[in-house]
Amino acid sequence: MRVLALNCGSSSIRCAVIDTGSGQRGAVRHEELAGRTHEAVLADWTEAWRNSESAEIRKVEAIGHRVVYGGESFRTAAAIDLEVLGRIEAVSHQAPLHNPANLAGIRALSAAFPELPQVAVFDTAFHHSLPAHAFLYALPYAFYKEHGFRRYGFHGSSHRSAAEAARDRLGLPMEGSRVLVAHLGNGCSAAAVRNGLSIDTTMGASPLEGLVMGTRSGDIDPSLGERIAEIRGLDFAGVTKLLNRESGLLGLSELSGDMRELEQAARKGHEGAIRAIEVFTYRLAKALASLVVPLAGLDALVFTGGIGENSAQVRQRTVAWLLPLGLAIDATRNARHGEEHGGLVSPDGHTPVLVVPSDEEAAIAAETAAALGEAERS
């Protein structure tokens, strides 16, 4: 099946046309928003597809959309109809940087290609295999039973595809495999993947929990919310916005939420940039070490996402904190992102540390085809 996979992120939009049978891809596009809205970029794209790229687009049989938050409602990908669209809209407040962008993509492409089936592929779905002791919060249990308060996890398509790629490269069977995945981009999360299933992850009920991110704080003491509100004169929505859009690397550095800019500034001695990178890598390493507990061992550590794939410094500094676990980095391999060693950036004889390019679009396409196949059989 030829699927147009659309990935509307918090700061960029990516897409690709993927043949799920052959793996062949075309019409790849990637654009940073740079102050533009998702709607404006998508309007340009659909106009271009109607013109110069129309021949290829006419061969598309379905469209798959990344949707970050599905909550308890969606445990697998789902064909989009008015009911599914309404259920996505109803929970979008749980992922304010993402679900509105995902909905913009659904609306734009549904209007441009009304004849094509559209499928929602949920980040949270991959993490529905978390056991209760991993997903429950230590709140009165009624909040879970009656309101669904729990940890869901995100970046599911990325974690799934990166773990699969690592097993393939290392020749690991799925049964018994223990893979730790660090997805590092503007949003960041880590996941423990055992036997091909997510058994714990760093993000929680929303994409705000967990690691330090580009503009998101990650874990903080909940009591700080009240003090932040008092100091800044904010209501609860204002505090949430500050934690999502003004914190993380941006807040720590007082310069930028972009790791590329921070690394350049750090080389020139910028104290804020140095501080942000140190906090980022330390918190990441601490989280990765904790995820070895549910794995009960480790067969591979995988770095993926824009930062994970491209920042040798982040990989080196993170793994340096993990020496007690027997992990190590080969400086030469790491500088070249493992390109000549199948992605390996660790020395021979050590637990493999790999760089795996994120391929969320291929995962979205595969899940789209599977969902439509299930729909046809039901």
Q: Which residues are catalytic?
A: 123
φ, ψ for residue 146, nearest 5 deg: -100, -25
3-state secondary structure of 171: coil
Tell me, what DSSP letter sits at residue 344? B
Tokens read off for 210: 């967990």
The amino acid that residue 347 corresponds to is: P
CA distance 168 to 235: 49
Starting at the edge strand found earlier in the chain, the sheet holding 62-67 runs 25-32, 12-19, 2-8, 62-67, 118-122, 78-79
- How is residue 378 written in tokens? 């039901």
| C-alpha dihedral (86, 87, 90, 96), degrees to nearest 10 | -100
d(C-alpha 95, C-alpha 100), whole Å: 8
Please count the other Cβ atoms lying within 10 Å of the Cβ belonging to residue 348: 9
